[in-house]
Structures are given as C-alpha cells and as structure tokens.
Amino acid sequence: MKPAPFNTLPGDPLPLARAFWLRADDGVRLRAAHWPAGGATGTVLLFPGRTEYVEKYAETAADLNGAGFEVLSIDWRGQGMSDRLQANVRPGHIGSFADYQRDVVELVVAAQELDLPRPWHLLAHSMGGTIGLAALEAGLPVDSVAFSAPMWGIDLRGVPEWLALGLATALSRLGRGGHPAPRAGGEESFVLLDPFHDNLLTHDGRRWGRLVAEAAAWPDISVGGASNDWLREAILECRRIAALPSPALPALIALGDAERIVSSPAIRARAARWPGAALLELAECRHEPMLERDPVRSRFLESVVAHFSAATDQR
C-alpha cells in the first residue's frame, strides 16, 4: 500500500489519517484512508456517498476514534482521488454498480493487511448504503451495521421512476451515457452552486461552509451531477436490493425529517422488514446527519457508538 495524499485546508491541524493507494482487480486505482486509535476495541468501515471523498469524514473519524474505534474509508471509483472512469472526469459516473463491490473487496483486504482490531462494523451513508447492503449480501465480515440516509431508493422529485429510467437508458443508447443526467446539476460541484438556505444536506452553516471551501480548494477531487449511466444503474440496483432479504445483523437506520435526496418510503420499508433493526428518526435533519447541527449530529453519533458497542459486548 503506497502512500497517497490527504488534503487539508489552511489552518487545519495535521491530519490523523494515513492515506494510501489500492488497486482493484480490474486495474482501477483507489484511494483509502485509515484513522488509527490507540487501544481501539473495534473498527468502523466507513462507506461514503456519491460525490464524496475521505477528507469529508475527518471530523466524524476523529469522534469515532475518541469512542474507541479505528476507521477505514475509501474514495469509490469515479470520485475523490480514485481513478475516474471516462475522459470527462466531471460527471459522477459508473458503468455498473456491481463494480463498486470490487472496491469493497480491496478495502476488506486492506483492513486484513492492516490487522485492524475486531469486531468490524459498517457505517454507510447515502450511496454507501446501496453499496453496503449489496456487500452484506456478499458476506462483508462485520458484526453490526449503521446506515445514514441510505440510498435504497432515489427521491426523483416528482418524476416517475419508470420515466427517469427510460430516459436515462435512451440517452445512454444515444451515446450520452457519460453526460450529466437531466436535472442532475451539470458538471460543477453542487456545493458551489446551491445557496446555503436551500441546500439539501445540512442546517449547519459552519459545516456547509467547510464543504464549499473544500470544493473550491480541491477541484480535482470533486464531481458534478450524476451521469445518465449512473442514474440508470442506481435505479436498477435499488430495485435489485429491494428484493433482497435483510441480513441477520443488528442494524441502526437513520432518517432525517427533511430528507429530499433519497427515498424515505424505501428506507421505512426496509427498516420495517429488518428483524431487530432500529429506525432512528432525526428531527431538523436534512440528508447528512454527520454534518448537521451539533445536537442532531451528536444524537446520531452517540446512537451509532452505542449500537456498535452493544454488538461488541455481545461477542
């Protein structure tokens, strides 16, 4: 595992993370980051969402370190510092959602090579929840799972799913699969375009400002709107995993009352048929519990730590 860069903004303390390169079996280079913790009693595998990068989770990783967990995360293929998948690197793009499982395999191999302390737990946000549920189906070796606004369906803002899928498929067949999907926001990072008062992620002005500063300072690791291929594959993958049985693992599933990116009905439906799952409903919360105002964020993270600790105690 060769060292990789880990970005900071002016005035930031030295990073606690060690970043390094991985290589998937199809040759795609991936960036991962490990936040160690002395005397840790377990490890959190942190699966980010679409558009994201490991630096975004530095604050959360530090909190998890303080609670006694090491943290390992990744830039999914097509975003962050991992290899982009087409000549135009701006749209968020994927050819098949199954390819993300190649990245999961390399992250697990890295966790084994680093001899990260057991038990392992999964914390997955948004698209990471799609990838995470599929990884659990494939046997991801974790003892418990926590989901933050998991993308088990997409809020298409009034557009029927069949229409969105048909349009994305048609545009892909016309050679526009790698272009931003209609209403997906173009090629620019949305945090540089959206006003704070109307953003879909957080009510916290300071943390929103941090996202804006990162997007401006690190343009090479940001991406724009989802491509037509990504949208097609995401809808198909959400349909596929909706038919899967729920894993026999303790699960915590968090959903904000102001969610407008992923499908709240799909989250509620999965939570209702996951034996032993707890649905954590968060008031005054948009899409990002880990970036919300301190009372909401603290409630979420305290619930996650308690959930992981209970699974550790039951070993």
**pLDDT greater than 70 at residue 315:** no
- Dihedral of alpha carbons 8, 85, 101, 189, sign: positive
pLDDT digits (tens, 9 = 90+) for 145-170: 999 999 999 999 999 999 999 999 99
Show the CA angle centred on residue 271, arms to residues 143 and 295, nearest 5°: 80
For the sheet containing 278-282, what is the strand order? 18-23, 29-35, 69-75, 42-47, 120-125, 144-148, 251-256, 278-282
**pLDDT score at 209:** 97
Percentage of residues in the chain with pLDDT exceeding 70?
Answer: 99
Q: How far is CA 198 from CA 65, 205, 255, in A?
A: 32, 12, 19
Percentage of residues in the chain with pLDDT exceeding 90?
Answer: 94
CB 305 within 8 A of CB 67: yes
Residue from 148, 147, 143 nearest 310 by CA: 143
> What is the DSSP secondary structure assignment for residue 19, as one 8-state letter?
E
Non-local (6+) Cβ contacts of 282 within 8 A are 254, 255, 256, 257, 289, 292, 296, 299, 300
Determine the angle formed by the axes of helices 161-171 and 228-242, rounding to 10 degrees.
140
> What is the DSSP secondary structure assignment for residue 138, as one 8-state letter?
T
Helix (H) or strand (E) holding 299: helix 294-313
**pLDDT score at 1:** 85
pLDDT digits (tens, 9 = 90+) for 265-304: 999 999 999 998 999 999 999 999 999 999 999 999 999 9
**pLDDT greater than 80 at residue 309:** yes
- 3-class DSSP state for residue 134? helix
Helix (H) or strand (E) holding 255: strand 251-256
Which domains are assigned to the chain?
A: 18-313 (3.40.50.1820)
Per-residue confidence band for 187, with pLDDT thresholds at 50, 70 and 90: confident
pTM of the model: 0.97
**pLDDT score at 276:** 85
CB 91 within 8 A of CB 172: no
pLDDT digits (tens, 9 = 90+) for 165-183: 999 999 999 999 999 999 8
Amino acid of residue 172: S
Q: How far apart are CA 222 and CA 190, in angstroms?
A: 10
What would you report as the CA-atom Rg of the chain, rounded to the nearest whole angstrom? Answer: 18
